[in-house]
Chain A
Amino acid sequence: MTQFAELTIAGLALGAIYSLIAVGFVMVYRSSGLLNFAQGEFATLGAFLMTTFAAWAVLPWPVALLLTVLVMMAVGMGIERVIMRKLLGRPPFIGSIVTIFVGFLLSVAVLWIYGSSTRAMPTPWDPVKIVEVGGVEFTLTNLVTILVAIVLIGTLAFVMQRTPMGMAMRAVADDQEAAFALGIPVERLLGLTWGIAASLGAVAGVFLAMFPRSATVAMGLLAFRAFPAVIIGGLESPVGAIIGGSALGLLQVHGEYYVNPHLGDFGIGFHLVLAFIVMIAFLMIKPHGLFGTKELERV
């Protein structure tokens, strides 16, 4: 039982990272119909920027994180302004393909600036510190990851649901032309959506690169494992992204412990495949996910 609780916390922490990535993915999809394949690279770039600010520039950790978020917001808005805006009004699949190349550009930029070596992600707390509550042990990093994700997504939900700006952003997502007709600054709000998606990805990257992992160029692929979360939750639903992300984290961590050992040699890394098996099952049985609408299209 203790084992199960410990795995659940580790799963939720991984799920929190997936949720952050998935929410960013869903925001871009909802507002412009694009599948943003560059979302994983936002995580990579964010993680490396964080190592620069926190380890190299020796800024206090929260300041470094804030700076990372702001820079990545600017990067996201810049991508929308320079590349995606040119594709406004074109079929979404064109933009979706373009995001693949945007992702390549970002990972090349990371390679160019940081090289192919790995970097440790600094943390203000002891990364191996174990917290014990009622016999259940987990790392402090896991706890912080979950808390940060809750705060970030909660704030975002508040802005989207309660503020005029959030309502205008949802209006753009609902009916872009109607939003244009009302004089809503559609392009600027789409830019903001990209900025938010990029900074959510960056925060996910920062926590994804923490001990025992580290920041590597291949993190984009790691972050891409969040993709089943979006399918499980439904491409259009932020709530679905959170639930799908958490489910995915739990599935992987529990799967690794409970399923892998029973499969012998075949079981090595099976938990990663398991996520995609579940995704394919969803695509066959419930293709619009748990919270998606029916008229979804797939790439």
Chain B
Amino acid sequence: MLSIRNLEVAYQDVVHVLHGVSLEVERGAVVALLGPNGAGKTTLARAVSGLLPIHDGSVTGGTIAWGDQSLLGLDSRARSAMGIAQVMEGRRIFTSMTVEENLVAGGFTKSARKHLRDRTEDAYAMFPRLAERRKQRAGYLSGGEQQMLAIARALMSGPELLILDEPTLGLAPSVRDYLRGVIADVNSRGTTVLLVEQNADLALDVSFYTYILEAGRVVHDGASSELREDPDIQEFYLGIHDGGRRKMQDVKRYRRRKRWLS
């Protein structure tokens, strides 16, 4: 289980991004982290996977633990060895290398090296599109295929916890639906998923539990099916309201009502 308690993160010791975030991800679950731009979602993902130091960020308070072991002070390689993998926002595949070479690089960690062949086959079974393009340069793949490759590459290390940072960003709706299935599929094979998303519809759909992060704080959380029925969530995140043109008065009310969130 991933448990984060009162996590505070600052960049360059002055830019405070997370102000005491607590959340839990049960083993085997899909948990979504939802929030607008700049809420600190990616920062939280980095704090878990150990990428903060690269961005001159550091945990200034609180704890992060995977199972009963604290992750604080471990580098990304140690966390990867513990079974934590992250698919970064923007796919970030190795564009000058072929699809297959990307997968090999993904399986370069010590514990993964002996499973290289099996896992490559698994990846191709899961994404037949990648199998067709295994010798192609990854930079020439379409956006959707690149995202498949990024997920397949992260799975090469055989992670127990997979963090997906905005996997559907900038992709066509059909690809988004496909990835929805992929997430469920990955989860059904026993991998815990922490899904960081802006797309509320998708996040609420595939996850069991959802946290809503705004301005560095968790402002709301609950079972995804319940949140979907919540009138505030419907209004602010799903864009559902009673229809008709809105008056300025209503918009003002919107701002007033949104205060409960912060």
Q: Name A's B-contacting residues (CB within 8 A).
A: 89, 164-165, 167-168, 170-171, 174-185
Q: Check A182–B106 contact: CB distance below 8 A.
A: yes
Q: Check B108–A167 contact: CB distance below 8 A.
A: yes
Enumerate chain A residues within 8 angstroms of B154, measured Cβ to Cβ.
Answer: 181-182
| A170/B105 contact (C-beta < 8 A), A164-B113, A181-B49 known | yes
27 contacts between A and B (CB under 8 A): A89-B53, A89-B54, A164-B107, A167-B101, A167-B108, A170-B97, A170-B101, A170-B105, A171-B105, A171-B108, A174-B95, A177-B51, A177-B88, A178-B93, A178-B94, A180-B50, A180-B51, A180-B54, A180-B76, A182-B85, A182-B156, A182-B157, A183-B79, A183-B80, A183-B109, A184-B77, A184-B105
Q: What is the predominant secondary structure among interface residues of chain A facing chain B?
A: helix
Enumerate chain A residues within 8 angstroms of B76, measured Cβ to Cβ.
Answer: 180-181, 183
Q: Check B97–A171 contact: CB distance below 8 A.
A: yes
Which B49-98 residues sit within 8 Å CB-CB of chain A?
49-51, 53-54, 56, 76-77, 79-81, 85-88, 92-97
B116 in contact (CB, < 8 A): yes
CA distance A171 to B76 in the complex (A): 16
Return the chain A residue nearest B112 by Cβ.
A183
B119 in contact (CB, < 8 A): no
Return the chain A residue nearest B157 by Cβ.
A183
Q: Name B's A-contacting residues (CB within 8 A).
A: 49-51, 53-54, 56, 76-77, 79-81, 85-88, 92-97, 101-102, 104-109, 113, 116, 153-154, 156-157
User: What 7 additional pairs, Cβ within 8 angstroms, besides A170-B94, A180-B50, A182-B156?
Assistant: A164-B104, A174-B96, A178-B93, A178-B94, A181-B92, A181-B154, A184-B109
Q: Check A183–B77 contact: CB distance below 8 A.
A: yes
Enumerate chain A residues within 8 angstroms of B51, measured Cβ to Cβ.
Answer: 177, 180-181
Return the chain B residue nearest A177 by Cβ.
B54
Return the chain A residue nearest B105 by Cβ.
A171
CA distance A177 to B54 in the complex (A): 7
Return the chain B residue nearest A165 by Cβ.
B108
Enumerate chain A residues within 8 angstroms of B107, measured Cβ to Cβ.
Answer: 164
A165, A170, A178, A180: residue with the most chain B Cβ atoms closer than 10 Å: A178
B54, B56, B95, B157: residue with the most chain A Cβ atoms closer than 10 Å: B54
Q: Check A168–B105 contact: CB distance below 8 A.
A: yes
Q: Check B97–A181 contact: CB distance below 8 A.
A: no
Enumerate chain A residues within 8 angstroms of B77, measured Cβ to Cβ.
Answer: 180, 183-185
CA distance A109 to B7 in the complex (A): 49
A165, A179, A180, A183: residue with the most chain B Cβ atoms closer than 10 Å: A183
CA distance A100 to B82 in the complex (A): 40
| A183/B81 contact (C-beta < 8 A), A167-B104, A177-B51 known | yes
Q: Smallest Cβ distance from B87 to chain A, in angstroms?
A: 8
Pick from B94, B108, B156: contact of A174, CB below 8 A: B94
| A178/B96 contact (C-beta < 8 A), A89-B53, A89-B54, A171-B105 known | no
Enumerate chain B residues within 8 angstroms of A179, measured Cβ to Cβ.
Answer: 105
Q: Smallest Cβ distance from B11 to chain A, in angstroms?
A: 12
Q: Smallest Cβ distance from A126 to chain B, in angstroms?
A: 45
| A164/B116 contact (C-beta < 8 A), A171-B97, A182-B109, A183-B80 known | yes
Return the chain B residue nearest A183 by Cβ.
B80
Top 7 nearest A-B pairs (CB, nearest first) are: A183-B80, A171-B105, A174-B94, A178-B92, A183-B109, A168-B108, A180-B76
Q: Smallest Cβ distance from A217 to chain B, in angstroms?
A: 39
Return the chain A residue nearest B49 by Cβ.
A181
Enumerate chain A residues within 8 angstroms of B56, measured Cβ to Cβ.
Answer: 89
CA distance A184 to B101 in the complex (A): 14
Return the chain A residue nearest B53 by Cβ.
A89
CA distance A42 to B96 in the complex (A): 29
Return the chain B residue nearest A181 by Cβ.
B86
CA distance A183 to B107 in the complex (A): 9
Return the chain A residue nearest B165 by Cβ.
A181
B50, B94, B154, B157: residue with the most chain A Cβ atoms closer than 10 Å: B94
Enumerate chain A residues within 8 angstroms of B88, measured Cβ to Cβ.
Answer: 177-178, 181
CA distance A178 to B80 in the complex (A): 12
Return the chain A residue nearest B79 by Cβ.
A183
Q: Check A175–B92 contact: CB distance below 8 A.
A: yes
CA distance A175 to B92 in the complex (A): 7
Q: Check A164–B95 contact: CB distance below 8 A.
A: no
Q: Smallest Cβ distance from B45 to chain A, in angstroms?
A: 10
Return the chain B residue nearest A89 by Cβ.
B54
Q: Smallest Cβ distance from B118 to chain A, in angstroms?
A: 15
Enumerate chain B residues within 8 angstroms of A164, measured Cβ to Cβ.
Answer: 104-105, 107-108, 113, 116
